[in-house]
């Protein structure tokens, strides 16, 4: 039942209460007032019954509206609670959005930094690749030079063996000639021949400068390419142009020709006549003249 219907029913009841006495009075003044009174009483009873029915309807409608209002109140409270939850979700989502925005900024910054690092690394890799190619080319050249030097060393070593064999033959011939000369002198009573020279020249250890008064010995301290540094110098009688023999134990390594880089306690020499063994640090050096006398 709508509100308009309720108002209409109430007005009808009021009009019935108001106009019923007036109608009774009017009917009493006319004829057959008793019949009219009965009629009006029936009308009043029916009106009263309708009023009671209307009141019962109004009470039921009021209860229904109260239940509807309670239901709407519960729904409103549930909606408010849901709204609060949604507001909390909105706040949480807003915070997550802000965090994601900050994370995105950090990722973009990291991406830019990584891009710059990749560019730098790419440049460095290109430079390293170029340097690698140059090093490989240099290595190939050094290998070719090494093969050439190895072949040259083998050739010189073979020549050295031949020269030593020839030297041994010459020494044997000289010894035979000296023995024959001694016998001839003894036969003709000319006395003994002079003492033979003790120093025999060698193809790989020929003294270019003047020989020192005593043996000059030292060690190799550093090797750089075809140059080597030894720990003896002018204070020991070493001079520019002298030849030092490099030994490792009892094995011949190479000759070392002293250059002009000479100090009292240090000298630099050029590596000559390598025997197949590579000169290295701590190898023994001795001047060529002392080496020849020791032989």
Domain borders along the chain are 3-86, 217-294
Instruction: Specify whether domain 217-294 bears CATH 3.40.190.10.
Output: no
* pLDDT, position 189: 60
Residue 285's DSSP bridge partners are 218, 246
217: β partners = 286
Report the chain's mean pLDDT, rounded to a whole number.
80
Please, which pLDDT band fits residue 32 given cuts at 50, 70 and 90? low
Contact 203, 160 (CB under 8 A): yes
pLDDT at 3 over 70: yes
The closest of 291, 173, 188, 177 to 243, measured between CA atoms, is: 291
pLDDT in tens, 4-14: 777 777 777 77
Q: Tens digit of pLDDT for each residue in 165-213?
A: 887 787 777 777 767 767 776 776 644 444 433 333 343 433 334 444 5
pLDDT tens digits, 60-101:
888 888 888 898 899 999 989 999 999 999 999 999 999 999
- Work out the pLDDT band at 274, boundaries 50, 70, 90: confident
Does residue 251 register a pLDDT over 50? Answer: yes
Question: Which residue in 202, 209, 219 sits closest to 291, CA to CA?
Answer: 202
| Euclidean distance between CA atoms 219 and 213, whole angstroms | 19
Name the band, by pLDDT with cuts 50, 70 and 90, for residue 26.
Answer: low
DSSP code, position 108: H
**1 confidence band (pLDDT: 50, 70, 90):** low
Res 157: pLDDT: 83
> Within 10 Å of residue 288's Cβ, how many Cβ atoms?
25
Q: Which residue has the higher pLDDT, 274 or 193?
A: 274
């Amino acid at each position: 039942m709508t509100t308009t219907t309720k108002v209409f029913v109430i007005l009808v009841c009021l009009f019935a209460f108001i106009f019923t006495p007036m109608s009774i009075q009017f009917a009493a003044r006319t004829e057959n007032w008793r019949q009219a009174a009965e009629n009006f009483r029936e009308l009043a009873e029916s009106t009263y019954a309708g009023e009671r029915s209307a009141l019962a309807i109004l009470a039921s409608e009021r209860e229904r509206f109260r239940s509807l209002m309670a239901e709407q109140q519960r729904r409103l409270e549930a909606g408010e609670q849901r709204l609060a939850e949604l507001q909390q979700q909105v706040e949480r989502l807003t915070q997550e959005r802000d965090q994601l925005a900050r994370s995105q900024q950090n990722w973009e910054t990291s991406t830019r930094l990584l891009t710059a690092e990749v560019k730098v690394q790419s440049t460095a890799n290109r430079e390293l690749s170029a340097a690698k190619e140059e090093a490989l080319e240099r290595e190939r050249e050094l290998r070719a030079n090494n093969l050439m030097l190895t072949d040259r060393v083998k050739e010189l070593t073979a020549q050295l063996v031949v020269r030593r064999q020839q030297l041994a033959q010459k020494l044997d011939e000289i010894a035979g000639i000296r023995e024959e000369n001694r016998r001839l002198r003894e036969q003709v009573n000319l006395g003994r021949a002079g003492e033979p020279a003790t120093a025999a020249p060698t193809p790989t250890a020929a003294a270019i400068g003047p020989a020192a008064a005593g043996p000059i010995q030292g060690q190799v301290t550093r090797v750089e390419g075809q140059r080597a540094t030894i720990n003896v110098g002018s204070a020991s009688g070493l001079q520019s142009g002298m030849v030092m023999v490099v030994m490792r134990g009892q094995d011949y390594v190479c000759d070392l020709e002293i250059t002009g880089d000479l100090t009292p306690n240090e000298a630099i020499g050029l590596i000559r006549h390598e025997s197949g063994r590579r000169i290295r640090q701590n190898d023994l050096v001795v001047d060529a003249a002392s080496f020849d006398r020791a032989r």
